[in-house]
Each structure stands twice: as C-alpha cells, then as structure tokens.
Amino acid sequence: MDLPTDNNPTVKAKRVLDLQLYPKQCAAWAYLTNPHTTEVVYGGAAGGAKTFLGCVWQIHNRLNYAGTRGLIGRARLKKLRQTTLKTFFEVCQMLGLKAKQDYQYQVTEGLIKFKNGSEILLHDLYAYPSDPDFTSLGSLEITDAFVDEAGELSHKAIQVLGSRIRYRLDVAGLPPKMLITCNPARGWLYQDYYKPFVRQTLRPDAAFVQALLADNQNPDFVRNYEGQLLKLDPITRQRLLAGDWEYANDDLALMHYGDLIEAIRNANSSNQRPVFAITADVARFGQDSTVIGLWQGLHLAQVLTFQKQDTKASADAVRQLMMRYKIAPGQVVIDADGVGGGLADQLPGTRGFVAQHQPLNQNGIPQAYANLKAQCYYLLAQHIADRSITIDPSLQDQHFEGKAITERLFEELLAVRRVQADDEGKLGINKKAQMKALIGRSPDLADMVMMRMLLVLRYTRLIFS
C-alpha cells in the first residue's frame, strides 16, 4: 500500500489479517508498517475505532514476528482489562483465534503468549507518586507498544516507554514503533503532535491521523453512538464528536486544560503545608449539590459530595472533618449565599463566603474586580497556572453523578470566562446561569475550589508565608 504523503492522508480500505480496515485506519496502518515512522498518534474523536486498530496491529505483529514482545498500556490496568482487553479478545474471535489453543492469557502475570513464542505485556502507565520517574519500566524490553487513551498519561510515561522499545528489533528487521491513540486533549498531545500536524511542522519520524466518528463505516454504530454523544455537555461534545482540539483555547477562558492536568500530575511533588482547611458549597433539597473539599495547604486532598441533603447533615459532615483533622473554625469557608448561611450559623466561627461582596484590598490597595467571587476566581486561575494548586490523583477514581470528580471539576472550571464588568474596567466573570447553560449544571465543584482563595487573600502572611 502506498504511504500517505500529506497531513490528511486518504487511502482506500484494505484487509489486514482478513479484517476490513476503514480508510483512516489504513492511513495509520501505512505509517505503522513503513520503516521511517516511529510514533503514530491516531484519534481525535470518539468512535473512530482506535482501540480496534491497536489490537489488530499488536496481533498482526505477534503472529508475523515470532519471539517478539509487544506491550499494550493504559493509565490504569483495571481500566485496560475492562475496556482495551475486551476489544482485544473480540478481535481474536473475529480472526478465529482460540484461547488456550492459539494464545494463552496469563491473568496474574498480565501476559498474553502466542504459540510462536511471541507475547504481549499488559501494563499500567500511571504516574504513581511512589514512582514519578517510571523506574518500573526500566527493566522492560519490548519490540513495540500500543498506548490506549494517552490523554490519561503524562508525557514522561510515553518518553520512558519509548526508550524500552529495543527487543529483537534487529532479529525481526523492525524499526521501533509506538501507536498512541487518544481523544482531543490539551497538554503534551496537543503541543507535540496536533499543533505541529496542523502547522505542517510535525517531526519526520512522527505521524498524526485524525479519525472522527464519521470515519467509522459501520452506519448502525455511527447512528447510535452519535445519539449518545449529542446528549453530552457542549465542551465534551465538541471534543468527542467534532474532534475539536481547540475547545479550551478560548482567549476568554480563565483557565486552561493543560494547567488543570498539571495540577494532578504535580500532586506528588507539591509543597504541601501541614495546615488543613475546608471549603463547602451548599445546597438543600434542590437540584444543585453540596460539595465539601478538604485541603492540605493548597492541595485538594478529598471531596465529599451530597445530593438533596439538609443543612444539618452537611454541618455534621463538616464538623466531623474539623474534629478529625483538628481544623479551627477560621480555616473553614462556607458559601453564605442562600441556604449556605444556615450552615454557617450551625458552625460558629467559620468564614462565610458572599459572592457579591466587595473585593478585598491587597496591601491597602483597592482591587479592580466586580466582586469577591470574581477576585477569587482570577486568583485561582493564577495559582493553577503557576502550579501552586494541586489535586489528589485519587479524585480521578472517585465518581459523582456518573463522572469522575476531576472530569466534572475541569468542565466547570473551563466554563469560567473573563468579562469586563463595567465601564470602569473592573474584571468579572460570566454569570452562573451562563455556566449552567454551557455545562448543563451548576458549577458546584468549581465554586468550592474557588472559595479556597478567600483564605489566601485574608491569611497569606499568617498561615502560608
């Protein structure tokens, strides 16, 4: 098959291992099978059959190159087994390969062995605090690698993994190869692959192929999946359906996706102070939710979420945290607008947060913000950008209303837009109703995080200097 020569390669469909590949998959396959390209990034939207392609490629290489060793990796091994591995076995079944006859899956070892002596390692690539340099990969020797959902990973994981691709390359006559699949994500994928691809400055040993749902040639799948994607909030829909990599590149956005990702990646190296604090955004028997954050310095360590809970139960939850971590009332900030005031009344000495309060002076100088809420959001954006705020990675695994807490938080923070509040040039943010219209819910998590800045404004010298 001819190798695509431009930044939007179009090739005809072909069969690989007696399986039909779609044209975009064939474009990626051309890069995967040429001697020049070492890294292939394939994806750009949901439904482009990314995982399918990766599994076909790994099986093809193991069947055709005896004694070689591939790797299939994802951030979490549990997620890999629940998703990627299921697709792998489906592909095996489509090819007529039988478990225990044509290949052996050794669950405990995370290993798939083929009759010809080739094998596939299953490996998690998460940046664990105990191993920030990925020394766990140091002893690996592999022939090639397929990394699924790379937006969940740090760039360092990819770099270290790439250095392990060296096993039997000379014997098999193969160049080192890595297939990276992803959905649009800001950060290293955007900076190192998508942006250079658009500018036609992508390095010659790398390739990017964007595959959208429309490139999937299964009409029933496209129709059904498109219906699901259309139900998503606007930001997520733009990413996963339209394949929009610029969804967060809004000049009016107060925060940026790459900075938010770094807040999680830097959690293990953050300079955590011993002072604990609590922030709470309160609702009572309504559509909005009560969210309580436990902070260690500027590190968001824990989030408690409640739906349709009265203020007494919320007060009990806050009180338990205060007792457990010996938190003084002055280190607790509670949304005092509406029903939040009732919660603050039950916890004497805590700090009430009034969004429309006048901004606080700094060093005796009035600040040009529309209100206290705007002031705190701008300060939060500054702290996120300079890596002062960190978020515990465990919150990626904690779900609320069907989504990871970090995912919901990022959606909400990305919905905050800067506006000019008045003719005097005061800085403001878009109204909560506008944020609700954009993400389909109240930004409760974002407000809870924003309120942490009240303590920074009031007590920086006393507590954190």
Q: At 420, list the tokens.
A: 């000019």
Q: What percent of the chain has pLDDT over 90?
A: 51
For residue 339, what pLDDT is reported? Answer: 56
Q: At 89, list the tokens.
A: 């076995």
Going 349 to 354 to 355 to 356, the CA torsion angle's sign is negative
Confidence of residue 355 (pLDDT cuts 50, 70, 90): very high
For residue 7, what pLDDT is reported? Answer: 40
Going 353 to 357 to 359 to 362, the CA torsion angle's sign is negative
Average confidence (pLDDT) over 61-74: 96
Prediction pTM value: 0.56
Enumerate domains of the chain plus CATH numbers: 14-240 (3.40.50.300), 257-464 (3.30.420.240)
Confidence of residue 1 (pLDDT cuts 50, 70, 90): very low
pLDDT tens figures, 383-434: 999 999 999 999 988 988 888 899 899 989 988 988 866 556 688 998 887 7
Q: Which of these, 309, 315, 336, 314, lies nearest to 447 by C-alpha position?
A: 336
Residue 149 has pLDDT above 60, yes or no: yes
Q: How many whole angstroms separate alpha carbon 292 and alpha carbon 308?
A: 14
Average confidence (pLDDT) over 176-204: 88
The 3 state secondary structure assigned to the chain is: CCCCCCCCCCCCCEEECCEEECHHHHHHHHHHCCCCCCEEEEECCCCCCHHHHHHHHHHHHHHHCCCCEEEEEECCHHHHHHHHHHHHHHHHHHCCCCECCCEEEECCCCEEEECCCCEEEEEECCCCCCCCCCHHHCCCCECEEEECCHHHCCHHHHHHHHHCECCCHHHHCCCCEEEEEECCCCCHHHHHHHHHHHHCCCCCCEEEEECCHHHCCCHHHHHHHHHHHCCCCHHHHHHHCCCCCCCCCCCCECCCHHHHHHHHHCHHHCCCCCCEEEEEECCCCCCCEEEEEEEECCEEEEEEEEECCCHHHHHHHHHHHHHHHCCCHHHEEEECCCCHHHHHHHCCCCEEECCCCCCCCECCECCCECCHHHHHHHHHHHHHHCCCCEECHHHHCCEECCEEHHHHHHHHHHCCEEEECCCCCCEEECCHHHHHHHHCCCCHHHHHHHCHHHHHHHHHHHHHC
Confidence of residue 233 (pLDDT cuts 50, 70, 90): low
Q: Which of these, 108, 65, 174, 451, lies nearest to 294 by C-alpha position?
A: 451
For residue 10, what pLDDT is reported? Answer: 44
Any idea how long the chain is?
A: 465
pLDDT tens figures, 272-331: 566 899 999 987 544 568 899 999 999 999 999 988 778 888 899 999 999 999 999 999
For residue 437, what pLDDT is reported? Answer: 65
Q: Which residues of 418-437 are buried (b: 16+ CB within 10 A; e: fewer)?
A: bbebeeeebbbbbebeebee
Residue 247 has pLDDT above 70, yes or no: no
Mean pLDDT estimate for the chain: 85
